[in-house]
Amino acid sequence: MLEDITRENNSKLNQNEAPISEAMDKYARDGALAFHTPGHKQGLGAHPRLKQLITPEGLRQEVSLMEELDDLHSPSGCIKEAEALAAGLWGAKDTMFMINGTTGAIHAMLLGTLRPGDTVLVPRNAHRSIIGGIILAGAQPIYIVPEIVEALGIAGALSVAAVRKAVAENPDARALIAVYPTYYGMAGDLQAIAAILHDHNMLLLVDEAHGAHLKFAQNIGGMPRQALDLGADVVAQSTHKVLGSLTQTSMLHIGSNRVSGERIREAGALLQSTSPNQLLLASLDIARLQMATEGVERLERAVGLSRWLRDNINTISGLYCVGEEILKGTATVALDFTRIIVNLRGIGLPGPEAELVLRHEYKVQCELSDNNNLLFIISMADTEERAHRLLAVLKLLASEHGRERAEKPVVPMGLFTANEVALSPREAFYQTRKRVKFTEAAGCIAAETVTFYPPGVPVLCPGEKIRAELIGAVQRQMKAGMRVVGPGDSSLEYIQIVEPSPGTQMK
């Protein structure tokens, strides 16, 4: 039925139009004397530096809340039309434009589908925005440890077996929040996971922050299919991460009738600005237009460049670029080829150190580094020239900075283990806090989140008991150059814990 609705909607939509951008242009050219926000009055009062950032035409169109520009929270005009075009293109039942990033989209997804006290299944490698959404919704997380790819020292996909076990042990769970694909481009068997959840009347909510492009690569052999086509009920996508919209813009897609689109929109209205930046909304509209008219061709080129890079990186002595061989014997069933994972074990160079060398000596910036790897994203914007430049720089990195081969990869298992949950994240968030030395916090209940960024995956969440093993693992990661975000003290000399009740002894 959903496919029939999508097909009918698509027949009425013109993917060559950009309704929001066209409405903004029309208002700017109408010549109305502006006695309304924003304060720069269509660029008249803008500082020269702002004028350097935004073109005069952009400043003229940087207005909002005018009649013809529609209302993000109750769309009935150009925004409604633009969202319908996006839903039609991605195959969603409904689509919401988000101007607070995928963090905002995930928060709206959780607040709009969960209720206080609901149990929700969460992979241990979930982004910190998911924990924030759980705090807002007042849900109780049950953490699932994803597969660990020991050869690379990273967390991989969530296995079907792990989900089946978690569902059997938590039959009253309301939903699973899946990360699909992972930051490293590893995609598990989401279709099988969806079937298990739906058989038990549970929702599949998907953080597809790194998969907005997958719809346009569906005919490229080996690429993962997008979550909407695999049974997801709600999907949050970062349109800005790999497509062409401005940073901070994302889409929230509704994929089934198991959820209330109206309630999710209400949640989005609670969480987003009532004065949305029209340039951000227009960029989403234009990114959709670009993908509708050029998306398949651009993704084919990006995957082609990625495959060429992967083959050639693997000719460099000491470097290994991950390919489809990673699918053998793992929970990963498909790999996003546009993610270039370069393993550094063969040149004995830690990832954070290699990242600094690339940035400051060779003027190349990777997406992220970890203990053993560098990650590069090849998007629709990349060219053969850029790919050749990256290859040349990696050759220099190996030849000029290579050391003795590492005996084995660094696998920070202490970070991947699920911690004991003593309080729900929301309960811990509102409890009275106490500041203690991190090295002396074993057995205490965390009141704040500890995350290494990127990739932004919490290793400690509010309400979890702090393990001695975790303290050691975190300190080793920091010593290796990984950056901590989340705690008030980013040096992590101190951490905030839930203050014990009088007479309570912490183990």
What average pLDDT does range 128-152 have in this prediction? 94
Query: Are 23 and 61 spatial neighbours (Cβ–Cβ below 8 Å)?
Result: no
Same domain assignment for residues 397 and 425: no
Q: What is the CATH number of the domain that holds 357?
A: 3.90.1150.10
pLDDT at residue 481 greater than cutoff 90: no
More confident residue, 29 or 246: 246
Q: Is residue 60 part of a domain?
A: no
Q: What is the CATH number of the domain that holds 211?
A: 3.40.640.10
Q: Is residue 494 part of a domain?
A: yes
pLDDT of residue 372: 94
Same domain assignment for residues 179 and 288: yes
What average pLDDT does range 227-243 have in this prediction? 97
Same domain assignment for residues 364 and 486: no
pLDDT of residue 240: 96
Picking from 359, 381, 401, the residue at the C-terminal end of a domain is 401
Picking from 292, 318, 334, the residue at the C-terminal end of a domain is 292
Same domain assignment for residues 170 and 247: yes
Q: Is residue 20 part of a domain?
A: no
Joined together, the tokens standing for residue 82 give 């633009």
pLDDT of residue 3: 42
Same domain assignment for residues 331 and 350: yes
pLDDT of residue 456: 84
pLDDT of residue 7: 46
Same domain assignment for residues 494 and 363: no
Same domain assignment for residues 147 and 282: yes
pLDDT of residue 1: 34
Q: pLDDT band for 5, please (50, 70, 90 cuts).
A: very low
The answer to which of 125-139, 197-211, 412-426 has the lowest mean pLDDT is: 412-426
CA dist 191 → 194, 225, 330 (Å): 5, 10, 16
Q: Verify cis geometry, omega within 30 degrees of 0, for the bond prior to 146.
A: no
Q: Is residue 47 part of a domain?
A: no
**Against a cut of 0.85, is the pTM above it?**
yes
Kindly state the percentage of the chain with pLDDT values over 70: 96
Specify the 3-state DSSP secondary structure of 95: strand
Q: pLDDT band for 483, please (50, 70, 90 cuts).
A: confident
pLDDT at residue 78 greater than cutoff 80: yes
pLDDT of residue 4: 41
pLDDT at residue 506 greater than cutoff 50: no
Q: pLDDT band for 145, please (50, 70, 90 cuts).
A: very high
pLDDT of residue 9: 47
> Which is it for strands 203-208 and 175-179: parallel, antiparallel or unpaired?
parallel
Same domain assignment for residues 177 and 108: yes
Q: pLDDT band for 461, please (50, 70, 90 cuts).
A: very high
Q: Phi and psi for 152 in degrees, rounded to 5?
A: -105, -15
More confident residue, 329 or 212: 212
pLDDT at residue 164 greater than cutoff 90: yes
pLDDT of residue 79: 95
- Please state, as a whole number, how many other Cβ atoms lie within 10 Å of the Cβ of residue 3: 8
Distance CA 316, CA 395 (A): 6
Picking from 345, 369, 401, the residue at the C-terminal end of a domain is 401
Same domain assignment for residues 184 and 313: no
Average per-residue pLDDT for the chain: 93
Q: Is residue 37 part of a domain?
A: no
pLDDT at residue 417 greater than cutoff 70: yes
How far is the first Cα of the chain from the last one, in angstroms, to the nearest whole number? 55
| Chain centre distance of CA 89 | 21
Q: What is the extent of the structural domain holding 443? A: 413-498
Q: pLDDT band for 453, please (50, 70, 90 cuts).
A: confident
Number of domains comprising the chain: 3
Q: Which span out of 196-200, 467-471, 477-481 was modeled with the highest average pLDDT?
A: 196-200
Amino acid code (one letter) for 302: A
Q: What is the CATH number of the domain that holds 489?
A: 3.90.100.10
Q: What is the pLDDT of residues 17-69, one digit of tens each?
A: 999 999 999 989 888 888 888 889 999 899 999 899 999 999 999 988 788 89
Same domain assignment for residues 87 and 150: yes
Amino acid code (one letter) for 71: D
Same domain assignment for residues 278 and 184: yes
What average pLDDT does range 452-475 have in this prediction? 91
Q: Is residue 271 part of a domain?
A: yes
Q: Is residue 34 part of a domain?
A: no
Amino acid code (one letter) for 364: V
Q: Is residue 21 part of a domain?
A: no
Same domain assignment for residues 225 and 77: yes
